[in-house]
Amino acid sequence: MTDQSITDQNTSAEKPWGGRFTEPTDAFVERFTASVGFDQRLYHHDITGSIAHATMLAEVGVLTAQERDTIIEGLKGVKADIEAGRFEWSVSLEDVHMNIEAKLTERIGITGKKLHTGRSRNDQVATDIRLYLRDEIDVIAAELNRLQSGLLDLAEREAATIMPGFTHLQTAQPVTFGHHLLAWYEMLVRDADRLQDCRKRVNVMPLGAAALAGTTYPIDRSITAKLLGFDRPSENSLDSVSDRDFAIEFCGFAALLMTHLSRFSEELVLWTSAQFDFIDLPDRFCTGSSIMPQKKNPDVPELVRGKTGRVNGHLISLLTLMKSQPLAYNKDNQEDKEPLFDTVDTVKGCLKAYADMIPAIEAKADNMRVAAKRGFSTATDLADYLVKKGVAFRDAHEIVGKAVGFGVAEGRDLSEMTTEELARFSDVIGEDVFDVLTLDGSVQARDHLGGTAPNQVRAAVARARKGR
């Protein structure tokens, strides 16, 4: 449903809470305070929670079995109408909860008005959001896992592909492309851990807290919690209706995930440029220019990089929303949904794009290798070689610096110099120096846990697939 299907009729005097009021809500205020334009996406979770609530009320004797069955069938009918596009959302009914309850009462009569016994919209919406976010977390976790699997496959395929490793975006030491990809994978491992940790705190049920103090009805919250798949009911009614930590925590996870995807994006954008030319992205993930026919723009990485600011903004929005709120529920909390919903949508879209794109990356191994030869990337290997020959590290550092200076002047890499030329800088240098000055020798020498050697990359991939 979109907000285009929402009616704007003013029936304020007929609102469920209207008994205390002597005049209808101002038409502008009604539109200004309504949330049905965006919270209608909670309809499935609202109805699921209501079915569980009605079931519990019957278990404790507040509703009869007949009333329970009538309510549940009515709610299923309302859900069918929504999903078939036959449901007319009304601004005058403010939110998803009152729209559904009003339609239920219209369908089944006065029994529909008994559904709200023992609860408030305060604990109802808190429950709906948790049910919604729990489901979305599971979808996001699956997409995150798919992206991780794609990275592992690509890392294994490129385990021996040599590229320059960078610090300060300057050539530092040779690494394997597979090792670089596994660095991305490690970021996502932490993201996945954070997401599952967040889910634990999402999966606590506030229903039964009512408006803020609980209810006088003999409810059994453990029944409702079990029916809805929550780990447990919440402990304190005041906190239950006003807590949005779980939404902030999810957005914190999302901001870090998007920061990682933004870092991936920056490298992909650089690597696809003519200046680097390390990889090729399939045409289906790129667009062209309306004026420059030669252009192939990496729009997916660029857009993901840009959407990071959007998600970061939502995190700040929720933190600011909650920073000065007194207990318990306040109308401010209506503003939690749009940032949360957009964060969920953005994260899902970005993960899908990346999970589809990463396995399709084609490495230009020859270009990477040529680039790794530039910038004296094996200089540290030469210093280590000298240290192993008995030269103090600080002296070795100076010796190699002079050798690099000579190479800059001559326009040649260390590996392109002769033994005699290198021996000018230290008489301990012999023919065996070329075992470490080659790119392959350099990466093979990093043969330890966490190192860039191809067999270490393959071993890391195997451990990751086994769950370590």
Backbone angles phi, psi at 287, to 5 degrees: -135, 170
For residue 213, the 8-state DSSP code is T
147: CATH: 1.20.200.10
Could you tell me if 133 and 49 lie in one domain?
no
Could you tell me if 21 and 40 lie in one domain?
yes
Could you tell me if 162 and 300 lie in one domain?
yes
> 279 in a domain, yes or no?
yes
Could you tell me if 17 and 137 lie in one domain?
no
> 236 in a domain, yes or no?
yes
Could you tell me if 144 and 282 lie in one domain?
yes
Residue 81 lies in domain:
3-117
CA distance 209 to 5: 33
Could you tell me if 237 and 283 lie in one domain?
yes
Q: What one-character-per-residue DSSP string does 91-150 give? A: GGG-SHHHHHHHHHHHHHGGGGGGTTTT--HHHHHHHHHHHHHHHHHHHHHHHHHHHHHH
- Low-confidence residues of the chain, pLDDT below 70? 1-22
Handedness of CA 53, 54, 59, 63 (dihedral sign): positive
Q: What one-character-per-residue DSSP string does 391-407 give? A: --HHHHHHHHHHHHHHH
Which residue among the candidates 90, 116, 149, 168 is catalytic per the annotation?
168
Which residue among the candidates 45, 50, 234, 289 is catalytic per the annotation?
289
CA distance 453 to 126: 51
Q: Tell me, rounded to whole angstroms, the distance of Cα 163 from its chain centroid.
A: 29
Owner of token pair 């393959």: 458
In total, the chain counts a number of residues equal to 468
> 286 in a domain, yes or no?
yes
Q: Are 314 and 271 in contact (CB under 8 A)?
A: no
Number of domains the chain is built from: 3
> 223 in a domain, yes or no?
no
**What's the predicted TM-score (pTM) here?**
0.91
43: CATH: 1.10.275.10
Residue 18 is predicted with a pLDDT of 63
426: CATH: 1.10.40.30
168 is catalytic: yes
Could you tell me if 59 and 144 lie in one domain?
no
Domain boundary among 369, 394, 420: 369
Domain boundary among 117, 150, 185: 117
CA distance 439 to 437: 7
**Residue 42 CB neighbours (<10 A):** 25
Q: What three-state secondary structure class fits 165?
A: strand
For residue 234, the 8-state DSSP code is -
CA distance 125 to 95: 10
Residue 6 is predicted with a pLDDT of 64
> 457 in a domain, yes or no?
no
Domain boundary among 84, 117, 150: 117
314 is catalytic: no
**What single-letter amino acid sits at 241?**
V
Could you tell me if 183 and 142 lie in one domain?
yes
Could you tell me if 262 and 300 lie in one domain?
yes
Residue 13 is predicted with a pLDDT of 44
Q: Tell me, rounded to whole angstroms, the distance of Cα 243 from its chain centroid.
A: 21
CA distance 108 to 67: 10
Q: What pairing do the DSSP bridges indicate for beta strands 6-7 and 89-90?
A: parallel
Could you tell me if 70 and 209 lie in one domain?
no
Could you tell me if 245 and 286 lie in one domain?
yes
Could you tell me if 200 and 60 lie in one domain?
no
